[in-house]
């Protein structure tokens, strides 16, 4: 699960070819399907309040442990709560934690990676940090941190962000190492640019593609991570329905209501699969070997 | 060289050594030359003789494995003693560079306008509409048609020649006193080269910018230079006004370079006559003429005594024990 994806080394991709790249992603059927699923899930999660047929915490003792039916598409749990409504809200929690932890990781990791790649003196220090973090499998690290910080949505996000940090730092660092040797950076130096300008205007904007690809890989990792943390009681706590929480609380009822675990499980698999397919397509589309055609 | 007043740029005894894995490399060996205000000086020599290193050394652009000594006087002060940030303020504003590779020297994700605006903002705090106006003016100056539209375009939307013009526009943004152009036309098609040279020629006339033009193309030199400095293996070996150099080369190496120019009028097959051998890579400065091994006139003196740069038979400085005597025009093949 801690697989670091082999990144292509996109030389440099101009914004217009970035748009062209998106068109190429859409021409790849798997990636296009992935994107469609992600967009649908995002929309459903965002509109959960409107789409959910029932409030996610509405208890109905007259309809407990109902299998999927027309009234309750995804069935109900032991308290008679509508599972479709809970999955929709759960997806929202998953997306929020997944995206926020990656954003947090980017906010911290990109500057660190830029500095490590740009300043030879800082590199050993920052690389030591990444190596230390990498010594723990992503989840072990996140679980440990969440256990120390105490369970909550925020700590789950922070713990996952820390776990993802090495992936982000590594890409930002290697992109910086590559870009600092480029002619246009040398030309900017000869024009009097200082280090901050080089990093902000010349190196970072050209590293965006690689970071984008890595981020699309990191989001599904974080989503699975959140589910596992919540499953272990270290993330989101009931009654907030996260997909992990739902699977965890469905465990003792597996015999009487298997759909309670299976449906959120399938939701996680479909979502992460879709994100990965889209990420792969994006990576291929931004590959300079493809761009040359 | 020039009578009256200090030259714009005076390089004295510039020496550059590199520490490399294969041992030390002496890239520039006590080079001295001057560039006066508004003058176009060509720095010529074969590949590897230290032209680019000399240019980079002027404003401290060399990598950390370089050791530089000597003096670079620019507008009266010694740049060798300036701090890093002082040099940064000079780069792009007083001394601007144009490099060989227009295809890769522009940032691919920023529009041409943004890149020019950046230089204007950096050195002149110019922003917004005034910066835009100035950028249009600059593109116009370097002969880019539809400048207002080009400003919104990305480098990949421009041809090589247009990109090099844009690079020159960026370099001229702050009306530098000296433009260092390191082989600005080498990477371009012959048809495009002429246009770029035109720009360089008119610009020094219009803006009063002095140009240090680095090239190994003597055709280019004849076209636009006022004066020529010839380098060989890190040393300056001859220096003369352009007509003088072409008419009366004193150093056998210069003569060899001139003979290597494809000149249809002179050689009907249009082929190059190369100087046999290659520029040596030296670890230290030998007490000898560094060209001796490739020179048909070399004798024992050349191999054990270092020639100095002194006025030769034609009147201009030559670093040679046996400089060529001036030939009467028309006598050369
Ligand atoms: N960063 C460096 N490290 C070590 N040696 C270097 C470095 N830069 C240049 N050199 C050496 O310095 C010498 C002069 O190089 P320079 O680039 O100035 O040549 P040049 O005259 O510009 O040639 P060209 O026409 O090919 O551009 C060469 O022998 C080169 O190998
Ligand atoms: Mg060079």
**pLDDT tens for residues B158-204?**
999 999 999 999 999 999 999 999 999 888 888 888 888 888 888 87
Provide, as residue numbers in chain A, all residues whose Cβ is less than 8 Å from the Cβ of B59.
190
Is A15 in contact with B109 (Cβ distance < 8 A)? yes
When mean pLDDT is compared over A43-52, A56-65, B109-118, the highest value belongs to B109-118
| B258-262 LR contacts (CB < 8 Å, sep 24+) | B258/B218, B260/B218, B261/B218, B261/B219, B262/B219
Q: What angle do CA B89, B92, B97 make, to 5 degrees?
A: 135
Which of A21-25, A59-63, B12-16, B196-200 has the highest mean predicted lDDT (pLDDT)? Answer: B12-16
Interface-testing mutation among A191, A194, A198, A206, with chain B (most B C-beta atoms within 10 A): A191
Query: What's the maximum distance between 2 C-alpha atoms anywhere in chain B?
Result: 67
Which residue's CA is the nearest one to ligand 1's atom 11?
Answer: B27
Residue B259 has what pLDDT? 84
Whose alpha carbon is nearest atom 10 of ligand 1? B27
| Average pLDDT of span B309-327 | 90
- 3-class DSSP state for residue B202? helix
User: For residue A10, what pLDDT is reported?
Assistant: 44
pLDDT confidence band for A291 (50 / 70 / 90): very low
| The pLDDT value given to residue A6 | 44
Closest by Cβ to A192, choosing from B91, B105, B108: B91
List b or e across B31-52, with b for residues whose CB sees 16 or more CB atoms inside 10 angstroms: bbbbbbbebbbbbbbbeebbbb
Q: Say yes or no for a CB contact (<8 Å) between A190 and B89.
A: no
B20 in A contact zone (CB under 8 Å): no
**Domain extents for chain A?**
37-48+80-291
ipTM tops the 0.90 cut: no
Nearest atom (ligand 1) to Cα of B45:
21
**What is the pLDDT, as a whole number, of residue B93?**
92
Q: A37-48+80-291 has which fold?
A: MetI-like fold (1.10.3720)
Residues counted in chain B: 333
* pLDDT (average), residues A268-284: 87
Percent of chain A clearing pLDDT 90 (strictly above)? 28
User: Which ranges constitute the DSSP H helices of B186-247?
Assistant: 190-207, 218-224, 242-247
Annotate B201-238 with b (16+ C-beta within 10 A) or e (fewer). Answer: eebbeeeebbbbbbbbbbebbbbbbbbbbbbbbbbbbb
Rounded to the nearest integer, the mean pLDDT of chain A is: 83
Tell me how close the Cα of A202 comes to any Cα of chain B, in angstroms: 7
């Amino acid at each position: 699960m801690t697989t670091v994806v082999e990144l292509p080394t996109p030389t440099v991709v101009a914004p217009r070819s970035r748009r062209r790249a998106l068109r190429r992603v859409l021409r790849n059927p798997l990636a296009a399907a992935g994107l469609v699923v992600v967009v649908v899930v995002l929309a459903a999660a965002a509109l959960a309040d409107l789409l959910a047929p029932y409030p996610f915490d509405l208890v109905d003792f007259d309809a407990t442990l109902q299998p999927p039916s027309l009234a309750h598409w995804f069935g109900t749990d032991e308290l008679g709560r509508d599972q479709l409504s809970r999955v929709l809200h759960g997806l929202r929690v998953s997306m929020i934690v997944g995206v926020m932890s990656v954003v947090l990781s980017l906010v911290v990791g990109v500057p660190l990676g830029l500095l490590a790649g740009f300043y030879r003196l800082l590199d050993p220090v920052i690389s030591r940090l990444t190596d230390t973090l990498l010594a723990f499998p992503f989840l072990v690290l996140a679980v440990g941190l969440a256990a120390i910080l105490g369970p909550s949505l925020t700590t789950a996000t922070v713990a996952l962000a820390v776990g993802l940090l090495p992936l982000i730092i590594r890409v930002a660092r290697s992109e910086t190492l590559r870009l600092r040797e480029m002619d246009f950076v040398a030309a900017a130096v000869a024009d009097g640019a200082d280090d901050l300008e080089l990093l902000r205007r010349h190196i970072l904007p050209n590293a965006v593609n690689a970071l984008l690809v890595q981020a699309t890989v990191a989001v599904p990792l974080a989503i699975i991570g959140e589910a596992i943390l919540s499953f272990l009681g270290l993330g989101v706590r009931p009654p907030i329905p996260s997909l992990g929480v739902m699977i965890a609380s469905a465990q003792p009822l597996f015999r009487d209501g298997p759909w309670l675990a299976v449906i959120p499980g399938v939701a996680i698999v479909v979502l992460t699969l879709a994100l990965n397919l889209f990420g792969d397509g994006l990576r291929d589309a931004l590959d300079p070997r493809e761009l040359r055609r | 060289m020039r009578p009256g007043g200090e030259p714009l740029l005076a390089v004295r005894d510039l020496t550059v050594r590199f520490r490399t894995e294969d041992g030390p490399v002496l890239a520039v060996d006590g080079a001295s030359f001057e560039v006066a205000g508004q003058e176009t000086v060509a720095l010529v020599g074969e590949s590897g003789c230290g032209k680019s290193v000399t240019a980079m050394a002027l404003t401290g652009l060399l990598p950390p494995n370089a050791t530089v000594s000597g003096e670079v006087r620019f507008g009266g002060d010694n740049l060798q003693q300036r701090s890093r940030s002082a040099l940064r303020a000079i780069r792009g504003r007083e001394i601007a560079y144009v490099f060989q590779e227009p295809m890769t020297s522009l940032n691919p994700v920023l529009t041409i306008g943004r890149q020019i605006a950046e230089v204007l903002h950096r050195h002149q705090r110019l922003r917004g509409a005034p910066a835009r106006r100035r950028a249009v003016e600059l593109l116009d100056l370097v002969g880019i048609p539809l400048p207002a539209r080009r400003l919104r375009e990305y480098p990949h939307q421009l041809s090589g020649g247009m990109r090099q013009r844009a690079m020159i526009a960026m370099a001229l943004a702050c009306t530098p006193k000296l433009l260092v152009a390191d082989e600005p036309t080498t990477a371009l098609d012959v048809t495009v080269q002429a246009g770029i040279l035109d720009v360089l020629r008119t610009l020094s006339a219009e803006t009063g910018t002095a140009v240090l033009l680095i090239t190994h193309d003597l055709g280019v030199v004849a076209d636009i230079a006022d004066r020529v400095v010839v380098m060989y293996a890190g040393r300056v070996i001859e220096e003369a006004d352009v007509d003088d150099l072409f008419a009366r080369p004193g150093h056998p190496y210069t003569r060899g370079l001139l003979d290597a120019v494809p000149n249809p009028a002179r050689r009907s097959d249009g082929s190059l006559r190369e100087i046999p051998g290659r520029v040596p890579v030296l670890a230290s400065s030998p007490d000898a003429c560094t060209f001796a091994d490739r020179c048909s006139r070399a004798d024992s003196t050349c191999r054990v005594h270092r020639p100095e740069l002194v006025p030769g038979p034609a009147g201009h400085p030559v670093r040679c024990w046996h400089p060529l005597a001036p030939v009467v025009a028309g006598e050369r093949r």
